[in-house]
Amino acid sequence: MRQKIIAGNWKMNLDLDQGKELLIKIIDADVNTNCVSIIAPPYIHLNSFKTLLSHTNIALAAQNCHQQDSGAYTGEISVEMLKSVGVDYVILGHSERREYFHEDSISISFKVKNVITHGLRPIYCCGETLAERQDGEHFITIEAQIKQGLFHLNEMELLNCVVAYEPVWAIGTGETASPEQAQEMHNFIRKTIAQEYGEIVADNISILYGGSVKPANAKELFTCPDIDGGLIGGAALDAESFKALTDSF
């Protein structure tokens, strides 16, 4: 049975003291335990956050990793390093990584494999640009990203993945895909996976929606049959908002 998930991606926000203050407020808010709550802060927070979260049901995620375990990769961080500070999940292929750092699905696929090899869970992001949607290429784009990024995995490896659909045109813009648009794409992703791995595998993978999700629209999105939660940006930077999102199920 697939999990309901709220994953808060803090991106490049909050220094150490600010981050600790927010995390303590989230812990004190007593988030809904009927879903999996995940916090993905900047790297500098990970070690101290794991201690703060040790007696809670909130999981810890990193926002990226390198595909190699060690070496001369200045400025990068390995999965082994993340695992050593208690990380549970790693976000991979976020649209901002694809756009600003020129990552593609093939290169991200190596990261996915390495994360799984070390026993952590990837949150694999996919999404189309506004131009791709307007040109009617959104299904082609998403199909390619899913196949290139995930279809090198076996069934058990894939079942350790979480997929996050995030239309690029709805991230941080205030625009949100309608529930009908989001459900249509989530269903397409699940069917794409089913064609390769079968319906049982596809039905057990959590697919999250990301793109200006907030408490005001979360319930309508999360009641769609193929939407299993959200990868949340700005709304995750407020404790009351984050709790409200976990209460949307």
- Cα–Cα distance list, 49 to 27, 57, 91, 159, 216 (Å): 11, 13, 17, 27, 28
How many residues belong to the chain?
Answer: 249
- The runs of H, that is alpha helices, within the chain are 16-28, 46-52, 79-84, 95-100, 105-117, 130-134, 138-150, 155-158, 179-197, 199-203, 215-222, 239-246
Residue of 123, 132, 125, 131 whose CA lies nearest to 105: 125
User: Which are the catalytic amino acids?
Assistant: 94, 166
Q: How far is CA 81 from CA 34, 120, 121, 195, in A?
A: 30, 12, 15, 36
